Structure 1
Amino acid sequence: MADICPEFLYTGGCITPACSLKHDGRFCAVCGVICTPPAKYSAHVKQKKHQAKLLTTTTASSTWLKCSICNVLVAHQGINWIQHITGASHCAIAAKHGLHQFILPLDAYLPNHYHCFICNRSIHVQYWWLHLASQMHLTLQVAATQRSMLEQAERDRQGITVSHEEKGVDFGLVSRSGSRRGVQAEVTAVSTDPSANVSIVRAEAFATGGSSGTCPFSATIVGGPCPMASGQAVCVRIMFRHSQRGQFSGRLELTLQDTSRRTFFIIRQLHAVVGTVSDHELLKADAPYARHRPTRWRDRTHVVEGTRPPALKAVKWVKKLENSEFPPGLQELLKNGSTRKVIGAIRGTFLPQTLTYTTHERYYRLLLWLEEHRLRKDLRMYDRADVQFTKEGGLYTLQVPGLAEKRPSVVIGDTIHAQNTNGNGHTHKGFVHDVRLQEIRVSFHSSFKVTGRYNVRFEHNRTPIKRQHQALLARSTSSRRLLFPGPQHAPLDRIVQSHEASLTLFNNQIANNANQLQAVKSILRLKEGAAPFIVFGPPGTGKTVTVVEAIRQILRREPNARILACAPSNSAADLLAQRLLSLTPTELLRCNAIFRSRMSLPDELVAYSTSKGNHFSIPPVSSLVTFKVIVSTCGHASFSYNVGMPHGHFTHIFVDEAGQGTEPEVLTAAIKTMATPSTRVILSGDPKQLGPVVRSSLARELGLGKSYLERLMDLPLYVKLVKNFRSHPAILNYPNERFYNGELEVCGSASTINAFLGSSQLPKRTFPIIFHAIAGENERESTSPSYFNIDEATEVVDYVKELLRDRSHPVRAHDIGVITPYFAQSRKIRKLLQKEKIDGVKVASVEEFQGQERRVIIISTVRTSRDLLSYDAKFSLGFVSNPRRFNVAVTRAQALLIVIGDAYVLSIDPMWRGFMNYVYLGGGWRGDDPSWDPKVPVRTEGDYAAEMQEAAAAEMDALMARLAEGEDLEGEANVDQAFQGEE
């Protein structure tokens, strides 16, 4: 397959004179198979499986290709590209202009890009031939041929007809009790050719998809091997038995022989799902996932603007924000070329060679533009074609599937542009007033016609980005000591010891913690004009406790102190405010962004916040200056500068979880705009935990993913907290060794961290960690890009129910936290909990759990992949494979940690493989055994994708070799090289 002609494969013909490549393949983009020889393609497209896939891909979104000869768009998943370019109309137009009919497919929305059907990627014409020679493309090309061979093996042949040809043997949804007992199905083989003289000699069942252990399927020929006379039916009994929930796939291979003892095979796929019918019915996708395609758009039309949301007018801003538009040439550069080429061009043209005091502003502003470019592209996924609005009062409502799943999403303050689909009229610019789960409400000009049908495009609100530019541009007398401090900016004259200068503590738990005492006393002794003071603390070591104690000590010692306390996320800022509730509402303000959801604010903080109508507001400056402590997110903290608070008003600026924000974001927290030489800046965090959320791979590669805290960590004076007061030793051991060189000391209360020892929930009563191996299914809903996994969701809720029922180790729902990386999975789990009338379990992403803890943490990793022929398991991990997220997730638990996931897929990542080895050897494993040897030391560099691909290739090669034994299949294999995966 390595030497098949790509022109012939993609266009059905070749225009290269004396082409030495093979011309014996046709690719079906609907099914992802290469049919060799091409005559097999005609038989393939007549199959029911192909017709069914064609129907679903036609109704779903398609990849639009452009024919440069006819100047039309072709949906290659619905109307095959080759059908178009071999059609009479296309051929006539090509002949008229003296052009060859066979042309490569152009991507309709990416100029100068060919579309590779096999890889489903668009490749710039400059790199097209390099792409065709790449290992990834060749690997997928071979896999497409092997799919065809499997398809051939699933067909009836030589006068033998086998039942279940269309869908294979599907046991459907089997109850847990039924799967333990075992359920049966029957496959019948019938000889329909009187002249055939064939015997069925063997029936075998194999597990597929990387399964380990005993195959859950078994096959038996009823009555044993026997000749098949004409019209005679032979029954093959299939048994499925397994004790665990999940998705199970297998393959039935029927071995048959003719009179000359030549062997051939007929294959049927096997599938079973173990679970609860009501749960699957409740959680199933409302509509199948359809990949979003760009809408057609007319540029340079007159724009009619609607009415801005009242919240935008609720605050009187006195500082003007610069537009900070993209520099000339950068936007154009980002439209074309590979990532590597663009990064090279950016480094050579736009980015300063080094990051210094004089280049800091230019360096980070460029990274912000790159991030904004990515944000704009991400928001394109919500663009809609041919939609209609409904009117509710003075606003217009639009259904937007998959909405409100965090950024990239549409939020209040964003704008929507609508163009009539008939190609006439203006562009209407509306403002988003309200965002719900699947819809938005917007305002348009009174000339907007609700009866029309529109193409819509979303644009993000640039204000947050512009505020970060503002912080970078601000001129400050403290810039050097805040950004690039030297020895002269040392925060202290000398290291303060924990036993010096006794304190009357507000939190007596600190009294026996030398590191926390040292940190608090150091903060109280900070010099004017000092560099930011850093409190570095791994999970559970009490960073926030230390910060809160320091704030309260400052207020006691300095009655005129004014403190701004920030954190990158609302949840972390809320936690800070909640721990300062000993202050009165006249002393403490929880300052919320105008567009924050009122429902997301904890009840106890309502009295400490300011509202106006249905949205949050900011008090006037005359009131703001009276608060002793103001708590805000980093992004919103620029309010102090923009409403005109006095420069240098804050004596202290604290940023908790500082490693979670980008440098421009943290500097927006009034550090750059409000700090004077007398302002003390204190950062607390851990660069090994969650880092900044950066959507642009370009910006991340060039440095935006490195936090302000991490960049300053080489300062000689900072306090490192090492006593962990949160977790049981078994829970802490792996992250302690993996991230902190074993420095953390277990100091948690025995009554808390040992709460589940001896529990019947544990596979090993002395080891409070469970890894539950389960093979579920990735699903997505409508146009939502977020994944969910029904099998894992039901397993999570089963664990919650069992824990709440266990009277010997009682736990409240509020003491259980569920962490999952996908918003869709969070919604499914909440829906199940609601069905079970369980209230109080927090279900959220790892970002929302940073700085928090629960007695029990359950993690659902979601991602799974059982298709060996796709060879994409390495990429299916998504951001599950992120060391910082892993570290935060597994260190939230105090007494019990439960991880539910697909061990086969997770084992690609060395960090996850090491963790699973630790749990397995510790006795905490539940489910099928690992498919690898847990006793073999883990290679920490790289990943195991290549190794797993080799194992998958060996399995496929063995199958292909068996299939090739038959005379009718030998020529169809046409595999010229060993099947190898990409590193």
Structure 2
Amino acid sequence: MDLYISPEQNRVEASPSPTLGVIPRLKLGSFEPPEGFIDIAFKKGSSPLKIANKIRSRFAPGVFRASTYKTHYQVMLWIEEERERRRDLSRYDFENGELRQKGKFYKLHIDGLASKRPDLLLGDRICVRLSGSGKWVSGIVHDVIDEYVLLHFGKEFKVLRGQKFDIHFVFNAQVYRRMHEALSWEPFFDRITFPRAAHVSRLGKVQNLSGNDIQPFNKNVSKNPAQRQAVTIITRMPPGSVPFVVFGPPGTGKTSTIIEAIRQILYTNPNSRVLACAPTNAAAELITKGLSGLGKKALIQLISPLRRKTSVSKNVLNFTYVNDREQFDFPPQSDLGKFRVVVSTCYIASVLLGIGIQRGHFTHIFIDEAGQATEPESMIPIRTMANDKTNVILSGDVKQLRPVVLSRVASELGLKTSYLDRLMSNPIYDETDGRGAKPLVKLTKSWRSHPAILKFPNEEFYNGDLEACADPGLTHSICNKWHGLVKKDFPIIFHGISSKDEKEASSPSYFNIKEASIVKKYVASLLNDSKLKLKPENIGVISPYQGQVHKIRELLRPFAEEITVGCVEEFQGQERRVIIMSTVRSSSEWSKFDLRRTLGFVADPRRFNVAVTRAQALLIVVGDPFVLALDPIWKAFINYVHLGGGYKGTQIDWDPSKPVDRKARLDKARRRLGRYRLQKK
């Protein structure tokens, strides 16, 4: 049903929900695209590459530099915003909805809501009208409970028994407007957006410090030369230095490194103030937990008033600001300015200007997991809070998750390239170039995984540079105890199964019942083995599809509800003793195998890297080997597990000892084999 409402269309707005706080904000502009822009960007029948080239020639600046920086990224944001506006919510619109009054609110049932279809947040807007006619009325989401939302409307809004409503989900453009606003702040500094060799020279002798002249608060950091060096350089950098990068592959302790650096900055400089950001709530909360020893007077995390207290861990709640309605809020400028460290997501950092914090208030701005944020998102804290003396520090891994970008046209134009990615492509950050010191430290000691789990991603993504340094008491805790291993001293299982993936009518997401059942059996076996002493929180289950996440949660709820089941993005920066992965996609029609259509985003090297590097002691992958082997990296991984003795289930039909050509189109070979077998029948 097409119920798209243009911004010009008249509707009755809801009054604010009586218990939702208001995010302080500056007056934001509308940031409308040029005339004709949207028509060209969404022209039907043209490929994303052709559209991107036309956008470049007509609207994008010819040269990417400081004077064109704003327009360069605004072009991408206009496309991504319209893509999300048009397709991501309107497809969930429906007719004949029922509103049932519950005190000051109205309860609305939404099919698929429990599995985030649609993904609604407190404060979002939903428009309703009497079925087929009448004026649209805007309601505000007050709460989300399983398959229901509670909506707040204006006082005049009334519902009679039996009335049915058309339901339209309204796109929230605030995130994009705040990114546009951040891009608009001038003047800005070449040393941050376009650093050159001349800017690096400002670091001087600081780059050559080994780290022996600091006393780390974290004993583990004291044992790691690369971490000590990074902390020392960050602490001793003169004001106004070039951005510094902590490149941290999986399990190397990059977050621990920036936490140590923040503590050293505060210890050595009594006038220092730090803004520490991350793209996600989970990553921001990890920073707060790591800095909790600073105490409540020095540390605060800003959390959106639209989040529930139950969604935040108890360790973090102590460092938040809560109003008299027991909801998250922001302290006044006079109080906020007293904290030595402010933690937030990149987006929530936009409230600082609205509260009254001025540019230059923070001596240092950190962004952890910087590879997951688009550059405009990273610029919210940087461009609104940094002045000519503020130092910027990024930590992350360009081999792990990239920003989520929905529009293929915006991706072609460069929105999927994070600020961290762009800096790392700059020669001054090239770690392989031996000419001169670099404003970067690469961490290579991995403190997470069993050597056999680390070996494949290490060789595939990091040139074999990583060194397995984790405690054997943890990493080898399952090898010789659990009867479920195919080979006792090899803690990886690939369980091959050829089954059938499915979709529900109301969802674009896939699920696979057979795979979900196998995951359940593995979880039960691990938890029931008393020798392992595993608790549900020691196990994580990863699947690339929300539909499968929902099915597995249902199966585990009766006996292991505490296990985290989620998509790859939910596990970045996390670790578990056991990781079980369900890849979902499967097909018995060999002659129709196609890499892009069949595998979709399962065949994403960065997602693969994150998924297989979360496990400390045991990694189990459940999937269809013939479908996964369409992708060269997956095929190489299956071969690695097969040669290591960890393969079971459906037998493969190729030689696992034969090297895999990473550039080959394996889906074409599989189709040829499928057609040959059909002819032989």
Deviation at 1:932, TM superposition (A): 2.5
Deviation at 1:407, TM superposition (A): 8.2
Q: Is the 8 A contact 1:855 1:896 kept in 2?
A: yes
Aligned with 1:828: secondary structure? helix
Q: Is the 8 A contact 2:126 2:140 kept in 1?
A: yes
Does residue 648 of structure 1 match 2:648? no
Which residue of the other structure, out of 327, 331, 337, is the alignment partner of 1:619?
331
Give the structure 2 partner of residue 859 of structure 1.
581
Which residue of the other structure, out of 306, 315, 325, is the alignment partner of 2:14?
306
Question: Which range is displaced more, 339-348 or 588-597?
Answer: 339-348
Partners of 2:6 and 2:538 in 1: how far apart? 54
Distance 1:505 1:349, change over 3 A: same
Give the structure 2 partner of residue 230 of structure 1.
none
Partners of 1:841 and 1:296 in 2: how far apart? 39
Partners of 1:298 and 1:561 in 2: how far apart? 47
Does residue 371 of structure 1 match 2:83? no
Question: Which range is displaced more, 670-679 or 338-347?
Answer: 338-347
Give the structure 2 partner of residue 417 of structure 1.
127
Give the structure 2 partner of residue 798 of structure 1.
521
Q: Is the 8 A contact 1:648 1:675 kept in 2?
A: yes
Deviation at 1:681, TM superposition (A): 0.8
Q: Is the 8 A contact 1:857 1:892 kept in 2?
A: yes
Deviation at 1:466, TM superposition (A): 0.6
Q: Deviations over 1:716-749 (max 9, x none)?
A: 4111111111111111111111111111111112
Partners of 2:285 and 2:6 in 1: how far apart? 44
Kindly provide the amino acid, as one letter, of the partner of residue 358 in structure 1.
S
Q: How does 1:628-707 map to 2 (within 5 A)?
A: 628-668=340-380, 670-707=381-418
Give the structure 1 partner of residue 31 of structure 2.
324
Does residue 294 of structure 1 match 2:2? yes
Give the structure 2 partner of residue 394 of structure 1.
104
Larger radius of gyration: 1
Q: Is the 8 A contact 1:295 1:385 kept in 2?
A: no
Does residue 833 of structure 1 match 2:544? no
Which residue of the other structure, out of 290, 293, 313, is the alignment partner of 1:579?
290
Partners of 2:327 and 2:317 in 1: how far apart? 12
Aligned with 1:771: secondary structure? strand
Which residue of the other structure, out of 104, 108, 113, is the alignment partner of 1:403?
113
Question: Which range is displaced more, 338-347 or 635-644?
Answer: 338-347
Aligned with 2:589: secondary structure? coil
Kindly provide the amino acid, as one letter, of the partner of residue 353 in structure 1.
G
Q: Deviations over 1:383-442 (max 9, x none)?
A: 1123332222233332221225458633233322334334x4322233322233323232
Give the structure 2 partner of residue 568 of structure 1.
279
Kindly provide the amino acid, as one letter, of the partner of residue 189 in structure 2.
S
Partners of 1:823 and 1:711 in 2: how far apart? 30
Aligned with 1:582: secondary structure? helix
Q: Is the 8 A contact 1:498 1:514 kept in 2?
A: no
Deviation at 1:869, TM superposition (A): 6.5
Question: Which range is displaced more, 307-316 or 360-369?
Answer: 307-316
Q: Is the 8 A contact 1:375 1:408 kept in 2?
A: no
Aligned with 1:899: secondary structure? strand
Q: Per residue, is there more helix in 1 or in 2? A: 2
Q: Is the 8 A contact 1:479 1:672 kept in 2?
A: no
Q: Is the 8 A contact 1:820 1:826 kept in 2?
A: yes
Question: Which range is displaced more, 449-458 or 360-369?
Answer: 449-458
Partners of 2:663 and 2:145 in 1: how far apart? 43
Partners of 1:948 and 1:555 in 2: how far apart? 58
Does residue 381 of structure 1 match 2:96? no
Give the structure 1 partner of residue 433 of structure 2.
none
Which residue of the other structure, out of 505, 515, 527, is the alignment partner of 2:226?
515
Give the structure 2 partner of residue 161 of structure 1.
none
Partners of 2:71 and 2:610 in 1: how far apart? 33
Kindly provide the amino acid, as one letter, of the partner of residue 266 in structure 2.
L
Aligned with 2:56: secondary structure? helix
Which residue of the other structure, out of 419, 429, 435, is the alignment partner of 2:138?
429
Distance 1:682 1:296, change over 3 A: closer
Q: Is the 8 A contact 2:277 2:368 kept in 1?
A: yes
Kindly provide the amino acid, as one letter, of the partner of residue 569 in structure 1.
T
Which residue of the other structure, out of 751, 757, 763, is the alignment partner of 2:473?
751
Which residue of the other structure, out of 507, 513, 526, is the alignment partner of 1:784?
507
Does residue 553 of structure 1 match 2:253? no
Deviation at 1:605, TM superposition (A): 1.3
Partners of 2:212 and 2:222 in 1: how far apart? 13
Kindly provide the amino acid, as one letter, of the partner of residue 890 in structure 1.
V
Give the structure 1 partner of residue 641 of structure 2.
919
Q: Is the 8 A contact 2:579 2:620 kept in 1?
A: yes
Q: Is the 8 A contact 2:206 2:236 kept in 1?
A: no
Partners of 2:307 and 2:313 in 1: how far apart? 12
Q: What TM-score do the two structures reach when normalised by structure 1?
A: 0.65
Kindly provide the amino acid, as one letter, of the partner of residue 915 in structure 1.
F
Give the structure 1 partner of residue 496 of structure 2.
773
Question: Which range is displaced more, 486-495 or 888-897?
Answer: 486-495
Kindly provide the amino acid, as one letter, of the partner of residue 493 in structure 1.
G
Kindly provide the amino acid, as one letter, of the partner of residue 655 in structure 2.
D
Partners of 1:455 and 1:370 in 2: how far apart? 28
Kindly provide the amino acid, as one letter, of the partner of residue 59 in structure 2.
F
Q: Is the 8 A contact 1:610 1:619 kept in 2?
A: yes
Deviation at 1:296, TM superposition (A): 8.2
Partners of 1:299 and 1:590 in 2: how far apart? 34
Q: Is the 8 A contact 2:491 2:646 kept in 1?
A: yes
Kindly provide the amino acid, as one letter, of the partner of residue 401 in structure 1.
D
Give the structure 2 partner of residue 529 of structure 1.
240
Aligned with 1:887: secondary structure? helix
Q: Is the 8 A contact 1:498 1:518 kept in 2?
A: yes
Deviation at 1:934, TM superposition (A): 1.5
Partners of 1:680 and 1:584 in 2: how far apart? 24
Distance 1:853 1:299, change over 3 A: closer
Give the structure 2 partner of residue 444 of structure 1.
153
Q: Is the 8 A contact 1:413 1:461 kept in 2?
A: no
Kindly provide the amino acid, as one letter, of the partner of residue 199 in structure 2.
H
Partners of 1:632 and 1:903 in 2: how far apart? 41
Partners of 1:298 and 1:461 in 2: how far apart? 13
Aligned with 2:597: secondary structure? helix
Aligned with 1:336: secondary structure? coil
Kindly provide the amino acid, as one letter, of the partner of residue 858 in structure 1.
I
Give the structure 2 partner of residue 951 of structure 1.
673
Deviation at 1:559, TM superposition (A): 2.1
Give the structure 1 partner of residue 432 of structure 2.
none
Partners of 2:157 and 2:18 in 1: how far apart? 20
Kindly provide the amino acid, as one letter, of the partner of residue 761 in structure 1.
G
Q: Is the 8 A contact 2:485 2:493 kept in 1?
A: yes
Aligned with 2:642: secondary structure? helix
Q: How does 1:80-91 map to 2 (within 5 A)?
A: none
Q: Is the 8 A contact 1:301 1:426 kept in 2?
A: no
Instruction: Give the fraction of aligned pairs with identical amino acids, expressed as a percent.
Output: 43
Q: Per residue, is there more strand in 1 or in 2? A: 1
Partners of 2:655 and 2:461 in 1: how far apart? 24
Q: Is the 8 A contact 2:360 2:387 kept in 1?
A: yes
Question: Which range is displaced more, 433-442 or 741-750?
Answer: 433-442
Aligned with 1:442: secondary structure? strand
Q: What TM-score do the two structures reach when normalised by structure 2?
A: 0.92
Kindly provide the amino acid, as one letter, of the partner of residue 827 in structure 1.
H
Deviation at 1:500, TM superposition (A): 5.1
Aligned with 2:392: secondary structure? strand
Kindly provide the amino acid, as one letter, of the partner of residue 308 in structure 1.
P
Which residue of the other structure, out of 657, 660, 663, is the alignment partner of 1:938?
660
Q: Is the 8 A contact 2:212 2:228 kept in 1?
A: no
Deviation at 1:794, TM superposition (A): 2.0
Q: What is the root-mean-square deviation in Å for CA atoms of aligned residues?
A: 2.2
Q: Which structure 1 segments of 5+ residues have no match?
A: 1-292, 960-983
Q: Is the 8 A contact 1:585 1:608 kept in 2?
A: yes
Give the structure 1 partner of residue 174 of structure 2.
463
Does residue 846 of structure 1 match 2:554? no
